[in-house]
Amino acid sequence: MYRMIIRLAVCCSCMLSPSWVYAQDAIRDLVVKIHATHHSPDLLRPWTKGSPRQISGSGVVIDGKRILTNAHVVKYASQIYLQPNQSASYIPARVVAITPGMDLALLKLDDESFFDHRGTLSFAQELPRVKDSINVYGYPTGGTELSVTQGIVSRIEYTDYYYQANGLRIQVDAALNFGNSGGPAVSDGKLVGLVFSLIQNAQNIGYLIPVEEIQLFLKDIADGVYDGKPQFYDLVQTVENDALRQRLGLPKGINGIMVAQPYRDQPGYPLQEWDVITKIGDTPIDSGVLSRAEVCEERSSTADNLSRWSADTNQLAGALRTRTRNSVLDG
């Protein structure tokens, strides 16, 4: 059966403890419905724009009097309005930061009285565990009131997002529908992720952007500029084979991944065929399986260096500095 991952923006009984009931009530006031008028570009006639479309999604209040949502909910939007829970008011909003690749966006309001007497949704301090229970809040199709669905975390993995970006992703089995995009997923009263997609024609397979990726985004834009994540296009392979290690001259205790085909075959490109990348920042790379989740955190730190074993000299060479725009490595 053909299946497609789709984004969730909409085109035009269990016993709970008193503390959790209170937390649910507080969370409800922090989740908003987002109405946006999209004017997507016409790729066949780039001097014009497509016909306007009305899109709706969800968002959540975070610290700094900001609204967190998905990029695809507000991308190409000429008008954005927030509708608070159980309110008929429409509050104008504007995009202050966006990353289409990781599908995240931040909104600000000109009238910040909306935030009076409202708290913020705190972030979880670590990834949830598989089988942990979560509650998803949002405004999906099928009604006008806030919807809350329950499920469990079924998978956590490092994978591709959009526009060649990649990062951690949480799979959940909570019921998600069009309009849930940008809504928070909550566990123990803390934000663990933001809804952004599902697999159509599959049963209860939805995806969250975890808090770890959200925090990297917020940290990146703190200086007013989104730099993004470094990309790595060189083709690599593992080096656990004894014959290959002998060919490379790798001593015992040196592990990593070997460059099978450099991204650029030109003088001055710092990685050569047969080079072995041993560390990214301070994170060692195992010869068997690259811990991509650790690399995701490390490569967004201040280090962002690649350590390598040189095939030419059969010894550890100097670190290579990564960049976040255009080129992947500084020559």
DSSP secondary structure letters along 282-315? TEE--SSS--HHHHHHHTTSS--EEEEEETTTTE
What does the pLDDT read at residue 310? 66
* Domains along the chain with CATH numbers: 1-41+51-221 (2.40.10.120), 235-321 (2.30.42)
- Note if 132 is an active site residue: no
Question: Of 109, 208, 219, 138, which Cα lies nearest the Cα of 168?
Answer: 208
Question: Of 131, 97, 130, 93, which Cα lies nearest the Cα of 214?
Answer: 97
Question: What token pair was written down for 158?
Answer: 């490092």
- Note if 187 is an active site residue: no
**Neighbour-count burial for 284-308, b at 16+ CB within 10 Å, e otherwise:** ebebeebeebbbbbbbbeebbbbbb
Give the active site residue among 56, 58, 181, 197: 181
- Note if 181 is an active site residue: yes
Give the active site residue among 38, 56, 72, 147: 72
Does residue 182 sit in helix, strand or coil?
coil
Give the active site residue among 35, 38, 103, 220: 103
Distance (Å, whole) CA 259 – CA 246: 16
Task: Give residue 79's region: left, alpha or beta (phi > 0; psi -120 to 50).
Answer: beta
Distance (Å, whole) CA 296 – CA 304: 10
What does the pLDDT read at residue 312? 60
> Tens-digit pLDDT profile for the chain (331 aa)?
444 555 555 554 344 444 444 455 688 999 999 999 988 887 788 787 778 889 899 999 999 999 999 999 999 898 999 999 988 899 999 999 999 989 999 999 988 999 998 889 999 998 999 999 999 999 998 888 899 999 999 999 888 888 878 889 999 998 888 889 999 999 999 999 999 888 878 788 889 999 999 999 999 889 888 888 766 677 888 888 888 888 888 888 778 888 888 877 777 777 878 888 877 767 777 654 444 544 445 444 434 566 666 656 655 555 555 555 443 333 3
